[in-house]
Chains A and B, each alone.
Chain A
Amino acid sequence: MKTLREVLLEKHQAAEPKLDAIREQVTAGLAAGTTNAPARAKERERSWQPESSKFQIGWRRLLWSLRWHLAGLSAVWLVALLLNLDPTPDSMQGVARRNVPSPRQLLAALRENQRQLHELISAPASEPAPEPPKPTPSPRSEARPFSVIAV
């Protein structure tokens, strides 16, 4: 003779492994949530040591000690990168940047300017321009008065 409790528990005994899995999953999640972070970090650090050489351990310790600095620098670099990214290529900044000549072009333009200046400066010495003829006033006596010639 059995009680109803025994009958029911025996009937569902087959579900026990699945219930065990559920229980373990829930308690594992609970353990992951309640263990404090520093203790976990120490455990993680300790777990590296057996499989690493002295150099690796030292290197990792150095990196680990600088983790916040490295993270901060990385964040700064990321921000700088994001700020420098130009999402609109047709913006004024892009146009202005495209209009700036290259150093080679600048040099060529400078040389051209120098050449032209040189030509301007040196041209009168080598080849003097002919003076325009001075207008010589004729004597008043030679001036013929306006007269009407009768034909």
Chain B
Amino acid sequence: MLVVAEPEQLPVPQARAGDPAAWDIMFRRYQLPLYVYVFELVHDEQASLDIVQETFINATRHLGSLREDGKFGSWLFGIAHQKCLQRWRKLGREAAALEEFAAAPIDLEDDPAELLIRAEQEASVMRLLNQLPVAQRSVLLLHFVEDFPLEDIAAVTGAALGTVKSRLHYAKKALKKLTEEEKS
């Protein structure tokens, strides 16, 4: 069972003072969710590990740019997100990725209920997740893995709040549709 500390319990002030133990606690808290997010976007183990490492190093160097201590998690994911974009840029896939981001439709309907996945559905859900456009996948991961508020997801991805809402809605709708099909 994964033990996850609340964001407000993170020793950000001590980390600002350069305490390595404080950094260790914060990195331990986010290392796996961050890896999950990056891996599900880039689908390359070594590249994901490299991005996580670069994210940690950048975080230690630029913690001064974090305005609110309570936003450390979304700030860290924002660094990782930028690293993913850099990787796509390097691979020449930036245009395709950005096209996917822009193509996500806008729909401001209420969010559907939280998804619960049965063991036999897991493989299908993961397959569907990988089929989603990068933009929807990114928003869905940030929402489900870290339960970030929409404002934070918008900050991480650099998208407008309305766009984030619609992407999340469509991603959830697609997953719900799948689970219903599995049931029937």
A34 touching B117 in the complex, CB below 8 Å, given contacts A4-B125, A7-B125: no
B170 adjacent to chain A (CB < 8 Å)? no
A7 touches B122 (CB 8 A): yes
The 9 lowest CB-CB distance pairs between A and B, nearest first, are A31-B20, A4-B144, A19-B31, A34-B18, A1-B116, A23-B27, A26-B56, A27-B24, A27-B20
5 contacts between A and B (CB under 8 A): A1-B118, A7-B117, A7-B125, A15-B35, A15-B45
- B31 / chain A contacts, CB cutoff of 8 Å: 16, 19-20, 22-23
Report the minimum CB–CB distance from B12 to chain A (whole Å): 15
Prevailing SS type, chain B contact patch: helix
Mask of A11-31 contacts with B, CB within 8 angstroms, 1/0: 111011011101111111011
Residues of B within 8 A of A25 (CB): 53
> How many of chain B's residues have a CB under 8 angstroms from any CB in A?
38
In chain B, positions 26-41 with a C-beta closer than 8 Å to chain A are: 27-28, 31-33, 35-36, 39-40
Are A18 and B49 interface neighbours, CB within 8 A?
A: yes
Q: Report how far A9 CA is from B145 CA in the complex, Å.
A: 8
Residue of B nearest to A20 (CB): B31
B141 at the interface (CB under 8 A from A): yes
Q: A26-B60, A30-B18 are in contact. Are A11 and B126 (CB under 8 A)?
A: yes
Q: Interface size class for chain A?
A: 20 to 34
Identity of the chain B residue whose Cβ is nearest the Cβ of A13 in the assembled complex:
B32
Closest CB-CB distance, B174 to chain A, in whole Å? 12
Chain B 93-125 per-residue mask, 1 if CB under 8 angstroms from chain A, else 0: 000000000000000000000111111001001
Q: Is the interface of A mostly helix, strand, loop or mixed?
A: helix
Contact (Cβ within 8 A) B49 A4: no
Q: Which residues of A contact B (CB under 8 A)?
A: 1-5, 7-9, 11-13, 15-16, 18-20, 22-28, 30-31, 34
Q: Which A residues are in CB contact (< 8 Å) with B32?
A: 9, 12-13, 15-16, 19
| B60–A7 touching, CB < 8 Å | no
| Residues of B that sit less than 8 Å from A by CB | 2, 18, 20-21, 23-24, 27-28, 31-33, 35-36, 39-40, 45, 48-49, 52-53, 56-57, 60, 114-119, 122, 125-126, 140-141, 144-145, 147, 175
- The residues of A that contact B36 with a CB separation of less than 8 Å are 8-9, 11-12
Residue of A nearest to B50 (CB): A22
Q: Which residue of A lies closest to B28 (CB)?
A: A23
A9 to B4, CA, bound (A): 12
Q: For the complex, give the distance between the alpha carbons of A30 and B26 in Å.
A: 14
Shortest CB-to-CB span from B46 to chain A, Å, is: 10
Most buried by B among A16, A26, A28: A26
Decide if B56 touches A23 in the complex (CB within 8 Å). yes
Distance A13 CA – B24 CA, assembled complex (angstroms): 19
Most buried by B among A22, A31, A34: A22
Assuming A4-B125, A22-B52, what are 17 further A-B pairs, CB within 8 angstroms? Answer: A2-B117, A2-B122, A3-B116, A4-B117, A4-B175, A5-B145, A8-B141, A9-B33, A12-B36, A13-B32, A15-B48, A18-B49, A19-B32, A19-B49, A24-B24, A25-B53, A27-B24
